Amino acid sequence: MIERWNAKKLCQQTEEFLIAHKLLPSYVKSGRYNPTISRHRSLFSPVEQKNLHYSGRNGLLYNNLSFWYFDYQLIRSFTLKGSTDSCLFLPDLYSLPVDADSLLKRLPSIFAQLNFRVVNIDNIGQHTTFELSDESCKVEDLPEPYGKWLHHQLGRVEWDKPEPLKITISCQLFPKPDETYLTLTLSALAIPLLYSLTQVFNSCFHLQGKLLADEEIMTYLQNKAVFSLEGGRIDLTMLTTASITYHSPESD
C-alpha cells in the first residue's frame, strides 16, 4: 500500500530512521503531556506543569550539544521557516524507460499518490516542483529535541505554539536515448519518502522492482546523495556504521 505522507509523520520517521541507523544518538522521550485531574489545588499552574514535564533531558543525544543541535536543525528543516536551510540532492536517482515529455506530464499524478501537490511545471526546462505544506502542528507534536532546544537552550517555551510545516521536492529531467534520468532535490532529509517514491515509480511503470531495492537506497544515499544543513555538508557515508560530528555555534 502506498503511503500518503504528511510532513509531521515524515519528520518523526526520519528522526527514528537516523537513530536506528546510528547517525543520531538515542534519547529518552518524556512522552506527550497529559494534565492530571486532582481534587487538590496544585502548587504549579498548568503551564508550569507542562514545562516540568518536558524538563527531562535524558539519553546520549542530550549529553552532546552538537548532536542535539543537529537534531534540532534537522527537525526545523521540516518547518516552513526552516525549509530553506536544508537540501538533499539526489542526482540521477532513477532511470525510467519513458521520454522526458511523457514523464513530465505523469509526475503530478505520481506525486499526488504521496500527497504532494504540484506548484510549478517548466515544460521548456523539463523541471517541476512539488510541495507538501497544507498543515501545521504544535511544537509538542514534533520530535521532542526540537521543543527542548527552544525551551532549554534558547529560553523560548513554545510547546503549544502552532508550527507550520513544509517540504518541497524539485524534479529535473535529463533525456537520454530510450530513457530519462530523474534528479531530485528535497528541502529536508526525508529518507522514508524515498522508499515510498521508489514503490510508486516501480508500480506506475510496471518495473516489478527494477528500480532501487531497499538496500540499494541505502547504498545510493551513502555514495551519491549530498545533504547540506545550514550551509554545512553532512556525511551520509556513516548511515549504518557510526555517528556524525557536527558542531553547534555554542560549541565553537
pLDDT tens readout for residues 38-86: 555 666 677 778 888 889 899 999 999 999 999 999 999 999 999 999 9
Task: Give residue 74's pLDDT.
Answer: 94
Note if the pTM is more than 0.75.
yes
Asked if residue 84 belongs to a domain, the reply is: yes
CA-to-CA distance for 167 and 155, rounded, in angstroms? 27
pLDDT in tens, 225-249: 999 988 788 888 776 544 444 444 4
CA-to-CA distance for 150 and 70, rounded, in angstroms? 13
Residue 102's CB: how many other CB atoms inside 10 A? 11
Task: Give residue 225's pLDDT.
Answer: 93
Asked if residue 39 belongs to a domain, the reply is: no
Asked if residue 1 belongs to a domain, the reply is: no
Asked if residue 136 belongs to a domain, the reply is: yes
Helical (H) or strand (E) element with 20: helix 7-20
Domain count, the chain: 1
Task: Read off the amino acid at residue 191.
Answer: I
CA-to-CA distance for 91 and 94, rounded, in angstroms? 9
Task: Give residue 43's pLDDT.
Answer: 64
Asked if residue 141 belongs to a domain, the reply is: yes
Residue with cell 537516523: 18
* Residue range(s) defining the domain that contains residue 221: 7-27+49-251
For residue 238, which phi and psi values (nearest 5 degrees)?
-105, 25
Asked if residue 196 belongs to a domain, the reply is: yes
Task: Give residue 251's pLDDT.
Answer: 37
Task: Give residue 183's pLDDT.
Answer: 96
* Regions of the chain short of the pLDDT cut 70: 36-44, 134, 208-210, 239-252
Asked if residue 161 belongs to a domain, the reply is: yes
Asked if residue 41 belongs to a domain, the reply is: no
